[in-house]
Amino acid sequence: MHLIPAGKNRFKLPRQGKMKVDGIVYLNDKLFRHIYRDNSLKQLANAASLPGVVRNVFGMPDIHQGFGLPIGGVMATAVPEGVISAGAVGMDINCGVRLITTNLSREDVNRRILENLIEAIEYFVPTGIGKKSRRGEFKRDLFLKILHHGVPVLIDEGFGWKEDASFIEENGCLPGAKSEAVSSEAMKRGASQLGTLGGGNHFIEIQFVEEVYDQETASRFGFRENQILVMIHTGSRGFGHQICTDYTKILYKAGKNYGIEIPDKGLSCAPINSPEGKAYYAAMACAVNFAFCNRQLITHDVRRAFQEVFQKSATELEMKIVYDVAHNIAKFEQHREGKLLVHRKGATRALPPYHPTNPPVYRETGHPVLIPGSMGTASYVLVGTPKAEEPFFSVNHGAGRVLSRTAAEKEISKEELKASMQGVVFDEKAYHLLLDEAPAAYKNIDDVVDTLAEIDFVKKVTRLRPLAVIKGKD
């Protein structure tokens, strides 16, 4: 598998073998050297061979090998003749990012205050693989309402502000959820995990606005220089993981029965309108709504922690949601080919100003595109442009790994981790649990963002720097 240049920061994976469309990968010269380190191009080629795939399959600048579709991959299939794939959405369904403002400034938070905030947040929000909510299991009736109707249910229960849902992708609820499509094992895993952070690359980060690139748009989003913000990155926990595991098996068997040649089990799929395809979408929508609600409960608890530390209400601290975006999701959308099912795996939707499906609060600006960096490095807020239509208005979701977790643990020392985290408050006692998330395990976030900014797919709004980070630890 070899790429050929196809314009600035743009490479083509030519159609070959059983591919039905070309692959397009967005890279600059610095990122290009990483592309042949894993099997991500082979995974793109596999996706390009599925029935009903349209236009091209796309790899974002943060592309790296995943399960089925590479992370940083985008694939759209025609409706109704195309397929739906659990592996093209991912294990952590609706892993995503939420950003919250405050009216605090950098000078308001010294190291001691940051340590107090971390302690307070960790008291309210359990972190780590398998951790359960301090609230215990939600009652079944309420849990089912959450799966079907998302964040508005939690707001009605007192976990949030009335306006919160307006600042969440899909208003915090993806239509089409049906809990009967979810296995009892997934239900069991999910019922006790709402409001927990999880492990791996998930985090809660206290940041400040380091640089403003677009003053007008930044003001519309509620930003100013040196302002304190909170970024939350987590998803659907064991609930979504179990759904992906269940339906990978179901779709693999179904695809064979429908005569689909499945190039890799990670891309198990079935026709969109088949009983199995419809069931997966209904279960996936439940996980999407679970994840929106997970971040909503964490938002509620982060507000509580700030209130406790600063002895002011979250309203007084102006802790508003800027936006909440999904990374791993399949959505029915209208594009120039007509109605498509767009699979984004480790990719972020980026609608430009005045796009009809922007949330009303951001119709004139385009919604904020939230791009977290690796632990200890910068994050960005961007907006999409009309040129991002090429990859179905999709951009990257983060920096993207260059070292596997195992390789990072072997190659990165405690001293290197501490040096890369200089000036950032984190749990140094647990450094051995964080080596796989060290900045050196990831691509340079500036290179990743600049790759798309230089071809006018996105416009930079602000650059954010971390002051303190909470990682989900085992």
Query: What is the helix (H) or strand (E) element at residue 420, kind and residue range?
Result: helix 414-420
Cβ burial of 252 (10 Å; 0-12, 13-18, 19+) is: buried
Cβ neighbours of residue 205 under 8 Å, at least 6 residues apart?
A: 230, 231, 233, 372, 379, 466, 468, 469, 470
> How far is the C-alpha of 89 from the C-alpha of 160, rounded, in Å?
28
Task: Give the model's pLDDT for residue 290.
Answer: 98
CA-based Rg of the chain, rounded to a whole angstrom? Answer: 21
pLDDT at 402: 83
- The DSSP bridge pattern shows strands 57-64 and 23-25 to be parallel
Angle (nearest 5°) at CA 344 between 339 and 350: 80
Each residue's pLDDT expressed in tens, for the chain with a length of 474 residues? 799 999 999 999 999 999 999 999 999 999 999 999 999 999 999 999 999 999 999 999 999 999 999 999 999 999 999 999 999 999 999 999 999 999 999 999 999 999 999 999 999 998 877 777 777 778 899 999 999 999 999 999 999 999 999 999 999 999 999 999 999 999 999 988 999 998 878 999 999 999 999 999 999 999 999 999 999 999 999 999 999 999 999 999 999 999 999 999 999 999 999 999 999 999 999 999 999 999 999 999 999 999 999 999 999 999 999 999 999 999 999 999 999 999 999 999 999 999 999 999 999 999 999 999 988 899 999 999 999 999 999 999 999 888 887 888 888 888 888 888 888 998 877 766 778 888 888 899 999 999 999 999 999 999 999 999 998 755
Burial class (CB in 10 A: 0-12, 13-18, 19+), 318: middle
pLDDT of residue 473: 59
Which run of H or of E encompasses 216?
helix 215-221
Alpha carbon distances (Å) from 409 to 64, 116, 246: 18, 29, 30
Global confidence as pTM? 0.96
β 57-64/203-212 pair status: unpaired
Residue 451 CA to residue 445 CA, distance in Å, equals 10
CATH domain 4-402+442-471 topology: tRNA-splicing ligase RtcB (3.90.1860)
Q: Rounded to an integer, what is the distance from CA 193 to the centroid of its chain? A: 18
Please classify residue 43 by burial: count the beta carbons closer than 10 Å to its beta carbon, then call 0-12 exposed, 13-18 middle and 19+ buried. Answer: buried
CA distances from 40 to 13, 16, 48, 401, 428 (A): 11, 16, 12, 12, 33
Domain boundaries, the chain: 4-402+442-471
Q: Report the SS3 class of residue 125.
A: coil
Cα 39 from Cα 1, distance rounded (Å):
9
Cα torsion angle, 65, 71, 76, 81, sign: positive
Tokens of 171: 């208003």
Q: How far apart are the first and last CA of the chain?
A: 37
Rounded (10°) CA dihedral 304, 305, 307, 310: 180
User: Where do the H-state alpha helices sit in 33-110?
Assistant: 40-47
Contact status, residue 299 vs residue 98, Cβ threshold 8 Å: yes
Tokens read off for 46: 């596999």
CA dist 259 and 267 (Å) reads 15
Q: Are strands 227-234 and 203-212 parallel, antiparallel or unpaired?
A: antiparallel
Which alpha helices (DSSP H) does 236-376 contain, by range? 237-257, 275-310
Q: List residues bridging with 83 in a β-sheet.
A: 271
Active-site residue numbers?
A: 397
For residue 84, list its beta bridge partners.
Answer: 270
